């Protein structure tokens, strides 16, 4: 038994070296990003090693999940997809029921850990859309678009109700990107986007007061410098004062002196910008662009529709994290709770992101060899 196991382990190790199932460039980019994240966290957390250690442990857990999931072939994932999607949506309903009358409620307490079911949807949503479109005639017609739209809308609405606008946006975007990649006609996209634009005044009615205030504050942050505007003003000061080359690692006064709120989580990129300047920002942005591009490259080489759409959607939704968080920190987008991927402190986000990259690795491993 033991001998058998060690033989298999040895064979696995050999395979890993001779024919890597993992995409090394993507892995390297993720690794660099994680290192930059830990370094920034060390500075933002005032050299708090236990903070950095905790985050590193989550990266390790995420990496293990990445490797494990990369071993699951896409067809198996595809067969699980409806169940995963329905299960995670059902958990959202449970959370909504538990949270009745309690204000913001997002967590499910499992005793040993708490987790947000909405995080699961970040992955199960594009899986579901890809699963649905996989056997269909592409590009999709109105009927399929409407079905996919409903698949996206139901969980997104449940999450937005929690209320967690940031995650709802990420989940909806992941589904929408899958639809986009499936070749949905441009005129149909234009029609939908135009319709959504027209729906903004209606949506405004359904936003919570605190969300409206966030938008109002965004438009004129200086109007409320001690209340809602504080985050944005201090964040802009941090970014702007960084200049081209930054103040240097561990020399960012805005975070060190705690003027910057949430400086280890949602606003950690302000710390990064303050300490590493525009040079650092562009470097990180290039890294993110590389990761997105690599994901799309993997998607192009995937062997079936499901894999293509899923890989492409995961890669593109990575952009939403970066753009929304980066825009928020720089004061051009509202403050919604979207973390900077692999840089912001926070376990659930890191683990779910790396799980998503695990799926990508699996798709990469099972790519078509020649076309």
Partner 1 sequence: MSRRRASIKEVRGEVALFRRRALAGFFLLLLGLIAVCSRYVYLQVFHHDEFATRSEQNRVKPRSIPPARGLIYDRNGVLLADNVPAFRLEVTPEQVANMDDMLQKLGAVVPISDDDIVTFKKQVKLGRRFEGIPLKLKLTEDEIGRFAVNRWRFPGVDVVPYLTRRYPLGAALAHVIGYVSRIDVDDLDNMDDDEEASYKGTTHIGRIGIEKSYEKLLHGEPGYELVEVNADGRTQAVLDTTPPTPGKNIYLSIDVRLQKAALDAMAGRSGAAIAIDPRNGQVLAFASVPDFDPNLFVNGISSVDYKNLMTAPDKPLYNRALRGVYPPGSTVKPFLALGGLTMGIRRPSDTVLSTGEFCIPGQSRCYRDDVRGGNGTVNMVRAIELSTNTYFYRLALDMGIDRLAHWMGSLGFGSKTGIDLTGEVEGVLPSREWKAKHSKAGWYPGETIISGIGQGYWAVTPIQLAHAVATFAGHGVPYAPHLLMDTQDGVDAARVPQSFPPTGPSVIRKPQDWDTVNEGMIAVINSGAGTGKKLGIGFPFVIAGKSGTAERFSRKSDAYDTNKNTAYLATRHRALFIAYTPAEDPKIAVAVVLEAGAWGAADSGPIARKILDQWVVDSGGARPTALPPGPITLSDAPAEAAPPSASSVQGVQPAAPSSSELPPDDNGEDQ
- Helix H, strand E, coil C: the string for 205-260 is HHCCHHHHHHHHHHHCHHHCCCCCHHHHHHHHHHHHHHCCCCCCCCCCHHHHCCCC
Q: Treating both helix axes as pointing N-terminal to C-terminal, what angle do 209-219 and 229-242 enclose, rounded to 10 degrees?
A: 40
Smallest gap from residue 270 Cβ to partner 1 (A): 10
Residues that bind partner 1 (CB under 8 A): 46, 134-139, 177, 180-183, 234, 236-244, 253-254, 256-259, 273, 277-278, 281-282, 285, 288-289, 292-293, 296, 299-300, 304-305, 308-309, 312, 316, 319, 322-323, 326-327, 330-332, 371
Smallest gap from residue 327 Cβ to partner 1 (A): 6
Structure tokens at 102: 């309690």
Neighbour count for residue 218 (Cβ, 10 Å): 19
Strand duo 108-109 + 114-115: pairing: antiparallel
HSE, CB side, 13 Å, CA atoms: give it for residue 40: 31
DSSP 8-state class, residue 20: -
Smallest gap from residue 69 Cβ to partner 1 (A): 22
Residue length, the chain?
A: 371
- Determine the Cα–Cα distance for residues 159 and 122; give it in Å rounded to an integer: 11
Smallest gap from residue 234 Cβ to partner 1 (A): 8
Q: Which is nearer to partner 1, 239 or 350 (CB)?
A: 239
The CA-based angle 182-366-364, given to 5 degrees, is: 70
Smallest gap from residue 197 Cβ to partner 1 (A): 17
Q: Which is nearer to partner 1, 99 or 261 (CB)?
A: 261
Q: Which is nearer to partner 1, 27 or 340 (CB)?
A: 340
Smallest gap from residue 117 Cβ to partner 1 (A): 28
Task: Tell me whether the omega of the peptide bond preceding residue 14 falls within 30 degrees of 0, making it cis.
Answer: no
Q: Which is nearer to partner 1, 156 or 239 (CB)?
A: 239
Smallest gap from residue 254 Cβ to partner 1 (A): 6
Strand partners, 108: 115
- The dihedral built from the CA positions of residue 144, 146, 150 and 156, taken in this order, carries a sign that is positive
Neighbour count for residue 3 (Cβ, 10 Å): 7
């Amino acid at each position: 038994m033991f001998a058998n196991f060690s033989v298999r382990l040895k064979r696995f190790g050999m395979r890993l070296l001779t024919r890597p199932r993992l995409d090394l460039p993507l892995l390297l980019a993720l690794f660099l990003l994680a290192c930059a994240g830990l370094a920034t966290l060390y500075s933002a957390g005032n050299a708090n090693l236990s903070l950095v250690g905790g985050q590193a442990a989550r990266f390790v857990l995420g990496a293990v999940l990445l490797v494990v999931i990369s071993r699951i072939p896409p067809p198996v994932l595809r067969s699980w997809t409806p169940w995963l999607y329905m299960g995670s949506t059902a958990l959202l309903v449970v959370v909504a029921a538990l949270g009745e009358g309690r204000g913001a409620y997002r967590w499910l307490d499992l005793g040993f850990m708490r987790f947000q079911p909405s995080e699961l949807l970040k992955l199960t949503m594009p899986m579901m859309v890809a699963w649905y479109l996989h056997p269909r005639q592409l590009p999709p017609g109105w009927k399929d678009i409407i079905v996919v739209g409903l698949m996206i809308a139901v969980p997104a609405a449940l999450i937005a109700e929690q209320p967690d606008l940031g995650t709802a946006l990420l989940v909806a975007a992941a589904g929408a990107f899958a639809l986009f990649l499936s070749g949905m006609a441009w005129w149909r996209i234009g029609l939908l986007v135009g319709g959504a634009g027209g729906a903004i005044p209606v949506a405004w009615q359904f936003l919570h007061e605190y969300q409206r205030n966030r938008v109002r504050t965004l438009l004129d942050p200086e109007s409320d410098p001690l209340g809602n505007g504080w985050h944005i003003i201090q964040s802009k000061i941090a970014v702007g004062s960084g200049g081209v080359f930054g103040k240097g690692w561990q020399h960012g006064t805005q975070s060190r002196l705690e003027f910057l709120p949430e400086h280890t989580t949602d606003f950690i990129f302000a710390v990064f910008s303050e300490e590493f300047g525009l040079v650092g920002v562009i470097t990180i942005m290039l890294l993110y662009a590389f990761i997105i591009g690599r994901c799309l490259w993997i998607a192009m080489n995937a062997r079936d529709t499901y894999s293509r759409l899923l890989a492409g959607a995961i890669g593109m939704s990575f952009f939403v994290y970066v753009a929304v968080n980066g825009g928020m920190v720089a004061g051009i987008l509202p403050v919604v709770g979207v973390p900077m991927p692999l840089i912001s402190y926070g376990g659930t986000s890191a683990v779910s992101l790396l799980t998503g990259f695990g799926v990508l690795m699996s798709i990469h491993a099972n790519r078509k060899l020649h076309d």
